[in-house]
Each structure stands twice: as structure tokens, then as C-alpha cells.
């Protein structure tokens, strides 16, 4: 089943922006689900996927942060998400897409480290980094 994605702000991204945030995702979605959906049309074009989890409930909190390797592709994907759907997702609410506040691979990793600390970097729910479509371990 697919879910339409709605834009919460202007349907464009700032010049140079490479990161988006998806909100109101189903709680069962994992970083693997998000990456699998991205690979259908963006394989090798993203380098960061983070799906924050509720540690107590052991499920997603309904957000995903994605950084793309360049602005033009990020803008294209942003526009795709504003008009299409995320496959295999099921939810009673409509996910929303917006430009992320933190932009770029390095700043996103730094933001996670500042908030979660070094002890969480090997946690399965930690941000995932990709290079040429391959997850870095």
C-alpha cells in the first residue's frame, strides 16, 4: 500500500540544500524501509538516512532524515515526494516532507553525535551512512 506525501512548506528547497525530513511516517518503518524505498529511484544518490526510534517502545517516532549527495538531486527527490507516494508504507495519517533544518552529511552526523553521544554510534537505530549506494559500517 502507498501513502501520499504532503508538503508542509513551500514546494521548493533553499539553494544548496541537500537534506529533507519526512514526518508522520508509520511507526513500523525502519531505516531499511526508507533506504529500500529510496533505492527504487535514488540508489547511490543519498549518503545519510536516520530514522529516530523511541527506545522504550522500540519503534520509529515517525521521522526520517535523508541527505542527498547534491542539491539538484535533493530538489528532484523533494519534488517527487511532494507529488507521489512512499511505497510499502501504511498509515492513517499522510506523511509530510520538508527541508531539514540541519543540512549536509557532516553537520547531520555532528548533530546526532552532539545529541546522542559516542556510545550510540553502533546502535542499530543510529544514522546510517552510505557511499555510492553501499552502507558504511
State the greatest distance between any 2 C-alpha atoms of the chain, in Å, as a whole number: 39
Contact between 65 and 21 (Cβ < 8 Å): yes
| Tens digits of residue pLDDT in 6-48 | 444 456 789 999 999 999 899 899 999 999 989 988 899 999 9
For residue 89, what pLDDT is reported? Answer: 43
Contact 44, 121 (CB under 8 A): no
Instruction: Kindly report, residue by residue over 88-122, the tens digit of the pLDDT.
Output: 444 456 778 899 999 999 999 999 888 776 666 66
Residue 49 or residue 84, greater confidence: 49
Give pLDDT tens digits for 63-74.
999 999 999 999
Amino acid at each position: 500500500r502507498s501513502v501520499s506525501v504532503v508538503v508542509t512548506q513551500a514546494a521548493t528547497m533553499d539553494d544548496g540544500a541537500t537534506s529533507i525530513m519526512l514526518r508522520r511516517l508509520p511507526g513500523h518503518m525502519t531505516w531499511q524501509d526508507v533506504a529500500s524505498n529510496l533505492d527504487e529511484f535514488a540508489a547511490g544518490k543519498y549518503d545519510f538516512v536516520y530514522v529516530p526510534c523511541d527506545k522504550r517502545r522500540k519503534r520509529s517516532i515517525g521521522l526520517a532524515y535523508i541527505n542527498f549527495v547534491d542539491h539538484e538531486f535533493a530538489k528532484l527527490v523533494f519534488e517527487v515526494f511532494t507529488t507521489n507516494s512512499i511505497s510499502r508504507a501504511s498509515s492513517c495519517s499522510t506523511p509530510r516532507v520538508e527541508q531539514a533544518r540541519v543540512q549536509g552529511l557532516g553537520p547531520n552526523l555532528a548533530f546526532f553525535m552532539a545529541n546522542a553521544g559516542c556510545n550510540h554510534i553502533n546502535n542499530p537505530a543510529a544514522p546510517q551512512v552510505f557511499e555510492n549506494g553501499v552502507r558504511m559500517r
